[in-house]
Structure 1
Amino acid sequence: MQTATSLPKGQPKVVNRWLVILGTIFVQLGVGTFYAWSIFNTPILQMFDQLVIDAKTGNPAAVQPHLGSISLIFSIGALSLSLSTIFVGTLVKKFGVRKVTITAGIVFGLATIIASRVNSAEQLWLYYASVGIMLGAADGIAYMATLSNAIKWFPEKTGLISGISVAFYGLGSFVFKYIDSAILGNNLVHNLPYALIGWGVLSMLLIVGGAMLIHDAPDVETDNAIDDPTHHEFTTREMLRTPQAYLLFIALLTISLSVYLTGIAANLGTNLAGLDIAQATNIVALVAIANTIGRFVIGSLSDKFGRKPMFMLSYIVTFIAVATLAFSSHLSVPVFYAAMMAVGFFFGGTITVYPTMAGDYFGLKNHSQNYSLIYQGFGFGSLAGAVILSLAGGNLSVVFNVYLVMLIVSLLIWVFIKKPVYHHN
């Protein structure tokens, strides 16, 4: 089916749905580049080291920001990304997905230009404001707006479409790690402004260019929804009255701890499996590849075998992988690689199927508003690993144990959860 019969006012009557998906792919590639941010941590640290040295004495003229201060840039961005998705539904309804996405793309590019102007140690806050708040919010808005819209265009293939969209979101970070590294070259501090601007402009072109191919999906038909208790287009208020909304939030928060584990994959490799630096770098690339493949595979399989079986498989295998990491004093390199790639693969698959699960349970009409609230589980879960590790005084085994307990709880959720039934008063 290539046409839509009930398009929003002012749109052409015939829309090629696959062109919309192509546009979505470009946007997702662009916004996914934010997850390559860690490539900038070292250049920024080196820049601040140079900035605070007194030219006359050669001694530090001020207290320089440390790695914790620099890594906070991405943490603020991740939280801003997550929180911004709450406003997507309202913005898209008022302005349309294309205008919202184009605006987000422009803000994305402007944020990197602002960041490139930092030239003193006292301007660290500019990174927090530009990359953390501005770019993070723009990223989240473009991500959720185009993902929800794409799913609505293919109600019969929501798992596949979500898989394609979210896979390219993950692929963006993988590809841009190499692009950013190439621009940075060997003179990291000198090339940092050019790398920031280059990253921002390329991402902006992908986002804005992709948005030009996107049309708002036709409205979801809701006739007789009240008479059919198995299908109802839940409003956000109605969704929040169901226990399923909170159970999905908990399960998503749980699996999002994988973000932390994959983020410290290189460190785990040296500590648990005795990897050298080259091998540790390889595991980062392998986990990223596994993550991307998982998004395609689990997304498409969920259309064929159902969402719950895929979730149960994902959480069981993740439990086995995390237990392997937690309870082995020394791992062989192949076993460590397999465990980390399993974590990456099934996290990628889970985060792909989640939007479609929200659509199955609560309908597609208000999908962006409804899923954006459940999606907060991803934001909080992504940060939870670092918080737990800090509270545990750096004891990584505590993080593993908490994750294992949460995986058991979440697996029970998937065993017993059922689609909510709407009761009309």
Structure 2
Amino acid sequence: MPGFFSKQRITASPDYNRWLVPPAALSVHLCIGQAYAFSVFNEPLTRVIGGSASSPDDWKLTELGWIFSLAIVFLGISAAFGGKWLEKVGPRLTMFVAACCFGGGFLISAFGVFLHQIWLLYLGYGVIGGIGLGLGYVSPVSTLIKWFPDRRGMATGMAIMGFGGGAMIGAPLSVLLMDYFQSTVSVGVIETFSVMGGLYFLSMTIGALTIRTPPEDWRPEGWKPPVLRNKMITHRHVHIDQALKTPQFYLLWLVLCLNVTAGIGVLGQASVMIQEIFKGLVTPAAAAGFVGLLSLFNMGGRFFWSTVSDYIGRKSTYFVFFAVGAGLYAVVPSVGMAGNIALFILLYAVILSMYGGGFSSIPAYLADIFGTRYIGGIHGRLLTAWSTAGVLGPVLVNYIREFQIAQGIAKTDAYNVTMYIMAGILLLGFLCNLLIKPVHEKHYMQHDEFDELDGAYPLDEYRNTNPSTLTKTAS
């Protein structure tokens, strides 16, 4: 069995069609993207005992809210520690373990609902499922970058787009299953958790079994590594542990954290926000449509902006995110006070597209700065920025809103200060991105440190020379 999961076992033949790899990645990311739709279970879980209405012994929403928070926290933790393990064992084993954790997390949660023990939901979906989220998120990324050295941004966008769109499948599927299994003695959550756990395990396992890595020295037909005129892109590598000693890693950590903080807090409160700002003009059903539209732009932005970054560069792409995003956040309060619902929706659609684009562009940004060899591990450690933003963003939006209301500010105006703060956060991100420079020569791995190559470039390109002098290409 270890041989079946080994890195050597999944090395593709030279004539392998690289376009078979993105579906394997999508089969994982479309599953774990269900995390964005977990809120559909919150209301039914508050009446597991009461049935048609909550009883005194039922769980409260405040208790249930920790399930999603734990999942995001353990996503970051597992990605940080599992990324280095991924580089050692390869994507097949990592993706299979992710399938076991994510699918198993649903089954443990189902058992927790059956026993009415909320700690089992914390353990199942929150901890074990969160580990599956983290391992599943990082496992296809480095493989796609190595298969598409000519289109790094597009490649990562294809997979991470699936994570943004997973909720569009997971939410209606959850509702459909709960309606099907609902009865006079059950709200249908136990059965839904069990079915979804099995379906997600199956889909993710198919992805794990079909993933392939490129052979050594492989490159796309007719493509040659370009002459390095862009100092922000390297053909060499920084070791995963050495990357943590560079200022570039921490600047990129802040870049991701600040971009996500500005978007995730609003995304979590989008339905309530638009109803309160346009009180009496937006119905709950229309607000739900607004949330769905934002999810669509979040998903589409992951592919669009990461592809754009292949042409204008990763640093320039983030400049767009921060400069344009700050301007849009600053304009939003005026648009809300003017009562222009259509423009309000358009502004937030663009903002959420850049929020999604930040996730899909960061792996290629890391590969440009640190090389492709340890990109999976470095990306995993950087995702702790997501965990931090997942707590910071909602806290800023929720607590500032509550403070404003407590001071007598009308609910229609309670988000104005928050929007200006988000604009300031993005301007801070702009400065962090401005400070990012090429890695210092001392951090690169030297010629005699390579025990194996990443498959993208031949050995004789790795010389202890300045990257700008590397013009040789293999025949």
TM-score (norm. length: structure 1): 0.88
- Selected match of 2:191 from 183, 190, 194: 194
Measure the CA separation in 2 of the matches of 1:51 and 1:271.
28
* Pick aligned residue for 1:423 from 442, 445, 462: 442
Letter in 2 for 1:181: V
The alpha-carbon deviation at position 145 of structure 1 amounts to: 0.9
Alpha carbons 1:153, 1:218 under 8 Å: kept: no
- Deviation at residue 33 of structure 1 after TM alignment: 1.7
Q: Which residue of 2 aligns with 1:303?
A: 310
Report the CA distance between 1:105 and its aligned residue. Answer: 0.5
Alignment pair present for 1:262 and 2:267:
yes
- Aligned residue for 1:212, secondary structure, equals helix
1:244 to 245, 248, 256: 248
Q: Which amino acid aligns with 1:73?
A: I
> What RMSD in Å do the two structures reach over aligned CA positions?
2.7
Aligned partner of 2:459 in structure 1 is none
Q: Tell me which amino acid in the other structure corresponds to 2:139.
A: A
Q: Residue type of the partner of 1:125?
A: W
Matched, 1:402 2:403: no
Q: 1:127 to 1:398 in 2, by over 3 A?
A: farther
Q: Is the 8 A contact 1:112 1:196 kept in 2?
A: yes
2:42/2:64 contact within 8 Å kept: yes
Q: Does 1:341 align with 2:340?
A: no
The answer (yes or no) to whether the contact 1:98–1:216 under 8 Å persists in 2 is no
Once structures 1 and 2 are overlaid, which stretch shifts more, 194-203 or 328-337? 328-337
For the pair 1:367 / 2:375, whether they are aligned, the reply is yes
Q: 2:382 and 2:96 mapped to 1: Cα distance?
A: 25
Q: CA deviation at 1:204?
A: 1.3
Among residues 316, 326, 343, which one is paired with 2:323 in the alignment? 316
When residues 52 and 278 of structure 1 are mapped into structure 2, their CA distance, relative to the original with a 3 A threshold, is closer
Which whole-Å CA distance do the structure 2 matches of 1:304 and 1:366 have between them?
A: 24
- Assess, with a 3 A threshold, how the Cα gap between structure 1 residues 230 and 293 changes in structure 2: closer, same or farther: closer
Q: 2:126 aligns with which of 108, 129, 132?
A: 132
Aligned residue in 1 for 2:470: none
TM-superposed deviation, 1:286? 0.6
Distance 1:373 1:399, change over 3 A: farther
1:145 aligned onto 2:139? yes
Compared CA separation, residues 424 and 249, structure 1 to 2 (3 A)? closer
Q: How far 1:101 moved relative to its partner? A: 0.9
Deviates more, 1:191-200 or 1:322-331: 322-331
CA shift, 1:338, in A, is: 1.0
Runs of at least 5 residues in structure 1 that lack an aligned partner in the other structure: 1-6, 54-58
1:133 deviation in Å?
0.2
1:43 aligned to 2:44?
yes
Q: Distance in 1 between matches of 2:303 and 2:311?
A: 13
Alignment of 1:85-104 (within 5 A): 85-104=79-98
Kept after mapping to 2: 8 A contact 1:85/1:372:
yes
> For residues 4-34 of structure 1, what are the alpha-carbon distances to aligned partners after superposition, in whole Å with 9 as ceiling and x for unaligned?
xxx9534453333221222111111112122
SS in 1 for 2:211: coil
Question: How many angstroms apart in 2 are the aligned matches of 1:357 and 1:370?
Answer: 11
Identity %: 24
What is the alpha-carbon distance in structure 1 between the residues aligned to residue 236 and residue 369 of structure 2?
8
In structure 1, what is the Cα distance between the partners aligned to 2:152 and 2:234? 18
User: For residues 95 and 170 of structure 2, what CA distance do their matches in structure 1 show?
Assistant: 20
Moved more, 410-419 or 66-75: 410-419
| Native 8 Å contact 1:84 1:141 kept in 2 | yes
Shift of residue 48 of structure 1?
4.9
Q: Deviations over 1:74-132 (max 9, x none)?
A: 00001111110012233224432112211221222121111112347861111100000
1:26-41 map, 5 Å: 26-41=27-42
- SS of residue paired to 2:210: coil
1:280 aligns with 2:274: no
Report Cα offsets for 1:34-88 as digits up to 9, x if no partner. Answer: 22111111111121555998xxxxx84x4x4321111110000011111100122
Which amino acid counterpart does residue 351 of structure 1 have in structure 2?
Answer: F
- 138-147 vs 415-424, greater mean Cα deviation: 415-424
Q: Deviations over 1:297-322 (max 9, x none)?
A: 11111111211221111222221222
Query: SS of the counterpart of 2:442?
Result: coil
TM-aligned CA deviation for residue 422 of structure 1? 2.0
Change in Cα spacing, 1:331 to 1:422, as seen in structure 2 (3 Å) is farther
Cα shift readout 1:267-314 (whole Å, capped 9, x = no counterpart): 111111232112101101110111111112111111112112211112
Within the alignment, does 1:123 sit opposite 2:117 as a pair? yes
2:193 paired with 1:185 = no
Q: Which sits farther off after the overlay, 79-88 or 389-398? A: 389-398
Aligned pair partner of 2:107 in 94, 113, 125: 113
- Matches of 1:243 and 1:112, distance apart in 2: 39
Distance 1:220 1:77 in 2: 38
1:233–1:331 CA distance, 2 compared to 1 (3 A): farther
Q: 256-265 vs 123-132, which deviates more?
A: 256-265
C-alpha distance in structure 2 between counterparts of 1:42 and 1:73, whole Å: 13
For 1:138 and 1:219, the matched residues in 2 are separated by 29
Shift of residue 218, structure 1, vs aligned partner: 4.6
Q: Distance in 2 between matches of 1:76 and 1:51?
A: 28
The amino acid that maps onto 1:232 is R
Instruction: Look up the SS of the partner of 2:67 in the other structure.
Output: helix
2:249 partner amino acid: A
Query: CA 1:211–1:49 in 2, change beyond 3 Å: closer, same or farther?
Result: same
Q: How has the CA–CA distance of structure 1 residues 112 and 220 changed in structure 2, closer, same or farther, with 3 Å as cutoff?
A: farther
Code of the residue aligned with 1:413 in structure 2: it is C
Rounded to whole Å, the distance in 1 between the matches of 2:443 and 2:109 is 52
Residues of 1 paired with 2:376 and 2:196: CA distance?
A: 28
Report if aligned partners of 2:12, 2:214 keep a CA contact under 8 Å in 1.
no
Structure 2 match to 1:56: none
**2:238 equivalent among 225, 234, 240:** 234
